[in-house]
């Protein structure tokens, strides 16, 4: 009988030890951040705790400050100018068909009514929107009539008219500078799934590449992974992310983030917000509160609305709702790499009276670029260097 108890006791100890080992290894694999991955061996060793250890200073304290953890693996984000050059070909790959389609139609020997209708259809299919399409077709008709047409002149005319439609005179600069001793504050709004959190992370990299000090606010407290995702983006470039518990009040996280930014004398605080389109009143309450609370610390300098270029008319409906709820100051059009419907640039600017300031052209960390009308139109038309 005594032997039996001994065997049971030994079995319990062995099984318990194995379970502990498995749990420790599981924790070590959990993280997906390159920074954190490097930290793991420091944090979890030694594997077997000793008696009385709890009374000592925690094991990870001396080895793991934010600076120590982040420095060895910090990435250097790509400078803005080289992004544009690199992404130009991606833009022409996704948008080139629209320009080529229009040029082919306009190069026909005779442009009859059917051809004009086809031109109209091509523009509508690319989400340019009804009114801008009609305006463009009207102007093209007039110019063809007045100026006549050769293949070369058609290309020039189309380029000019597309540029006019996109309006190069709009102010597309991001207003993210410190003002009156306070950091610039950027609120990023939009429906979940549009690429909002990714855009906040990419934007942080754009600003870090410009030597700005950035603080992130993870105020999308409703999507479980959003805060984690944002923290990882921040860690990669040494930018702190302020976050609260899951489900906590987004406004209080936003407040804390801007407070931290002010205390640290950061240049800019970028606040990710929750994008639940439950109903207009709910959204208005939530974003209104975030803005009011943030403005106790510093004025909001930009409200960027993130729209997914692949969602077409749905995206336009969302844009309308958000613009009625907050004063949107700029649009970020994501996933232009996966959509041939770049005409939405025109439609959304018209609808909201707000410029597209940034475009997302891929899932890569540096696949966000300032929107430049000339580069865009040249990509549409397959310019010499596009």
Least distance CB 281 / ligand GDP (angstroms): 21
CA angle 332, 337, 342 (to 5 degrees): 65
Give the end-to-end CA distance of the chain in Å, rounded to a whole number.
85
Q: Which is nearer to ligand GDP, 133 or 339 (CB)?
A: 339
Q: Which of residues 104-163 bind ligand GDP (CB under 6 A)?
A: none
37: helix, coil or strand?
Answer: helix
The C-alpha atoms of residue 305 and residue 351 are separated, in whole angstroms, by: 13
Ramachandran region of residue 216, left (φ > 0), alpha (ψ -120 to 50) or beta?
beta
37 binds ligand GDP (CB under 6 A): no
Q: Is 235 in the site for ligand GDP (CB under 6 A)?
A: no
- For ligand GDP, give the closer residue by CB, 196 or 291: 196
Q: At a CB cut-off of 8 Å and minimum separation 6, what does 109 contact? A: none
If one asks whether residue 192 binds ligand GDP (CB under 6 A), the answer comes out as yes
- Please state the closest distance from residue 83 (CB atom) to ligand GDP, in A: 12
- Binding segment (CB under 6 A) for ligand GDP, from list 17-25, 188-196, 203-211, 318-326: 188-196
Number of chain positions touching ligand GDP (CB under 6 A):
19
Q: For ligand GDP, which is the closer residue by CB, 305 or 381?
A: 305
Binding-site member from 286, 337, 366, 378 for ligand GDP (CB under 6 A): 337
CA dist., res. 90 & res. 22, Å (int) = 45
Q: Which is nearer to ligand GDP, 48 or 363 (CB)?
A: 363
Q: Does 197 bind ligand GDP (CB under 6 A)?
A: yes
Q: Which residue is nearest to ligand GDP (CB)?
A: 360
CB 178 to ligand GDP: min, Å? 27
What is the DSSP code (8-state) at residue 46? S
Shortest distance in whole angstroms from residue 196 CB to ligand GDP: 3
338 lies in the site for ligand GDP, by CB under 6 A: yes
- 341 lies in the binding site for ligand GDP (CB under 6 A): no
Query: CB of 258 within 8 A of CB of 273?
Result: no
Which residue in 92, 260, 334, 375 binds ligand GDP (CB under 6 A)?
Answer: 334
CB 94 within 8 A of CB 340: yes
Across the strands, what pairs with 270? 186, 216
Nearest CA to 218 out of 184, 245, 188, 242 is that of 242
Return d(Cα 90, Cα 335) in angstroms, integer.
11
Nearest approach, Cβ of 189 to ligand GDP (angstroms)? 10
Burial class of 368 by CB neighbour count within 10 A (0 to 12, 13 to 18, 19+): buried
Interface map 361-380 toward ligand GDP (x if CB under 6 A)? xxx---x-------------
Length of the chain, please? 386
C-beta closer to ligand GDP: residue 316 or 365:
365
Output phi, psi for 148, to 5 deg: 70, -175
The footprint of ligand GDP on residues 67-106 (CB under 6 A) is: none
Q: Which of 360, 369, 378, 386 binds ligand GDP (CB under 6 A)?
A: 360
CB-nearer residue toward ligand GDP: 191 or 386: 191
User: DSSP 3-state assignment of 49?
Assistant: coil
Piece in contact with ligand GDP (CB under 6 A), picked from 28-36, 37-45, 253-261, 332-340? 332-340
Determine if 195 is a binding residue for ligand GDP (CB under 6 A): yes
Binders in 269-288 for ligand GDP, by CB under 6 A = 275
Instruction: Report d(CA 93, CA 336) in Å as an integer.
Output: 10
Among 335, 347, 381, 386, binds ligand GDP (CB under 6 A): 335
311 binds ligand GDP (CB under 6 A): no
Enter the tokens of residue 113. 């009514």
Torsion of CA 190, 193, 197, 203, to 10 degrees: -70
Q: How far apart are CA 219 and CA 274, in angstroms?
A: 7
- For 222-355, strand residue ranges (E) read 241-243, 268-273, 300-308, 330-334
Residue ranges that bind ligand GDP, judged by CB under 6 A: 190, 192-198, 226, 275, 334-335, 337-338, 360-363, 367
């Amino acid at each position: 009988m005594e032997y039996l108890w001994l065997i049971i006791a030994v079995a319990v100890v062995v099984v318990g030890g194995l379970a502990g080992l498995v749990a420790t290894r599981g924790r070590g694999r959990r993280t997906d951040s390159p920074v954190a991955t490097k930290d793991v061996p420091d944090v979890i060793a030694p594997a077997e705790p000793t008696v009385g250890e709890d009374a000592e200073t925690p094991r990870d304290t001396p080895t793991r400050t934010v600076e120590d953890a982040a420095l060895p693996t910090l990435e250097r984000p790509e400078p803005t100018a080289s992004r544009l050059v690199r992404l130009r070909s991606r833009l022409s790959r996704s948008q080139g068909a629209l320009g080529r389609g229009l040029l082919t139609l306009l190069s026909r020997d005779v442009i009859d009514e059917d051809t004009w209708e086809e031109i109209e259809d091509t523009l509508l299919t690319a989400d340019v929107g009804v009114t801008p399409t009609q305006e463009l077709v009207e102007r093209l008709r007039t110019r063809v009539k007045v100026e006549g047409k050769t293949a070369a002149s058609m290309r020039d005319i189309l380029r000019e008219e597309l540029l006019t439609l996109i309006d190069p005179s709009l102010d597309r600069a991001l207003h993210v500078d410190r003002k009156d001793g306070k950091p610039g504050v950027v609120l990023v709004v939009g429906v979940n799934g549009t690429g909002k959190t990714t855009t906040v992370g990419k934007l942080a990299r754009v600003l870090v590449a410009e030597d700005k000090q950035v603080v992130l606010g993870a105020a999308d407290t409703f999507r479980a992974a959003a805060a984690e995702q944002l923290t990882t983006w921040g860690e990669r470039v040494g930018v702190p992310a302020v976050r609260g518990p899951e489900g906590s009040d987004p406004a209080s996280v936003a407040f804390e983030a801007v407070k931290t930014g002010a205390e640290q004398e950061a240049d800019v605080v970028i606040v990710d917000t929750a994008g639940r389109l439950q109903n207009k009143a709910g959204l208005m309450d939530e974003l209104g509160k975030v803005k009011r609370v943030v403005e106790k610390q510093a004025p909001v300098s930009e409200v960027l609305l993130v729209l997914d270029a692949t969602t077409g008319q749905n995206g336009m409906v969302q844009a309308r709702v958000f613009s009625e709820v907050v004063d949107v100051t700029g649009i970020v059009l994501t996933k232009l790499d996966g959509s041939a419907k770049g005409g939405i640039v025109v439609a959304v600017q018209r609808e909201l009276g707000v410029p597209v300031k940034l475009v997302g052209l891929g899932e890569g960390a540096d696949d966000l670029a300032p929107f430049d009308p000339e580069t865009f139109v040249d990509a549409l038309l397959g310019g010499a260097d596009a």
